[in-house]
Amino acid sequence: MNIKVLLDESEIPREWYNLAADLPTPMQPPLGPDGKPVSPDMLGKVFPMNIIEQEVSSDRWIKIPEEILGILYKWRPTPLHRAVALEKALGTPARIYYKNESVSPPGSHKPNTAVAQAWYNKQFGIKRITTETGAGQWGSALAFSCALLGLDCKVYMVRISFDQKPFRRLMMETWGAKCVASPSTETNAGRKILEEDPDTPGSLGIAISEAIEAAVTDETGQTRYSLGSVLNHVMLHQTIIGLEVKKQLAKINEKKVDVVIGCAGGGSNFAGLAFPFVADKIVGANIEVIPTEPSSCPTMTRGPYSYDFGDTIGMTPLLPMHTLGHTFVPPPIHAGGLRYHGIAPLISQAVIEGLLSPRAVHQIECYEAAVLFARTEGIIPAPETSHAIAAAIQEAQKAKEEGKEKVILFNFSGHGLMDLTGYEKYFAGKLQDYPLPEELMNKSLAAIKNLPKPKAVKSGRW
Buried-state track 288-321, b at ≥16 Cβ within 10 A, e below 16: ebbbbbbbbbbbbbbbebbbbbbbbbbbbbbbbb
Give min distance, CB of 269 to ligand PLP, in A. 3
Which CB, 257 or 300, lies closer to ligand PLP? Answer: 300
Give min distance, CB of 347 to ligand PLP, in A. 9
Contact 263, 413 (CB under 8 A): yes
Give min distance, CB of 413 to ligand PLP, in A. 3
Give min distance, CB of 137 to ligand PLP, in A. 4
- Find all residues with CB under 8 Å of 412, minimum gap 6, and list them: 81, 98, 99, 100, 101, 102, 379, 381, 385, 388, 389
**DSSP-derived secondary structure for 83-150:** -HHHHHHHT-SSEEEEEEGGGSTTSBSTHHHHHHHHHHHHHTT--EEEEEESSSHHHHHHHHHHHHHT
Q: Is residue 58 classed as helix, strand or coil in its secondary structure?
A: coil
Compute CA distances 202 → 115, 132, 210, 297, 449, whole Å.
Answer: 27, 11, 11, 19, 25
Give min distance, CB of 379 to ligand PLP, in A. 12
Closest listed residue to residue 448, CA positions, set 320, 326, 358: 326
Which CB, 92 or 385, lies closer to ligand PLP? Answer: 385
Compute CA distances 436 → 22, 309, 321, whole Å.
Answer: 34, 21, 19
Which helix or strand (DSSP H or E) is residue 350 part of? helix 345-353
| Geometric angle at alpha carbon 361, from 352 and 81, rounded to 5° | 90
Binding footprint of ligand PLP on the chain (CB under 6 A) = 108, 110, 137, 229, 263-270, 337-338, 382, 384-385, 413-414
Compute CA distances 40 → 31, 37, 344, whole Å.
Answer: 11, 10, 19
Instruction: Give dist(CA 356, CA 260) in Å, integer.
Output: 10
Which CB, 268 or 349, lies closer to ligand PLP? Answer: 268
Give min distance, CB of 383 to ligand PLP, in A. 8
Give min distance, CB of 125 to ligand PLP, in A. 28
Which CB, 107 or 320, lies closer to ligand PLP? Answer: 107
Which CB, 190 or 228, lies closer to ligand PLP? Answer: 228
Which CB, 162 or 187, lies closer to ligand PLP? Answer: 162
Which CB, 214 or 418, lies closer to ligand PLP? Answer: 418
Which CB, 130 or 137, lies closer to ligand PLP? Answer: 137
Q: Which residue is nearest to ligand PLP (CB)?
A: 414
Which helix or strand (DSSP H or E) is residue 158 part of? strand 152-158
Which CB, 212 or 263, lies closer to ligand PLP? Answer: 263
Contact 382, 419 (CB under 8 A): yes
- Find all residues with CB under 8 Å of 311, minimum gap 6, and list them: 204, 205, 208, 209, 326
Which CB, 187 or 296, lies closer to ligand PLP? Answer: 296
Give min distance, CB of 266 to ligand PLP, in A. 4
Which CB, 30 or 337, lies closer to ligand PLP? Answer: 337
Instruction: Give dist(CA 271, CA 234) in Å, integer.
Output: 9
Contact 392, 373 (CB under 8 A): no
Give min distance, CB of 443 to ligand PLP, in A. 25
Give min distance, CB of 423 to ligand PLP, in A. 15
Q: Is residue 201 classed as helix, strand or coil in its secondary structure?
A: coil
Give min distance, CB of 380 to ligand PLP, in A. 12
Task: Kindly state the greatest CA–CA separation across the chain.
Answer: 65
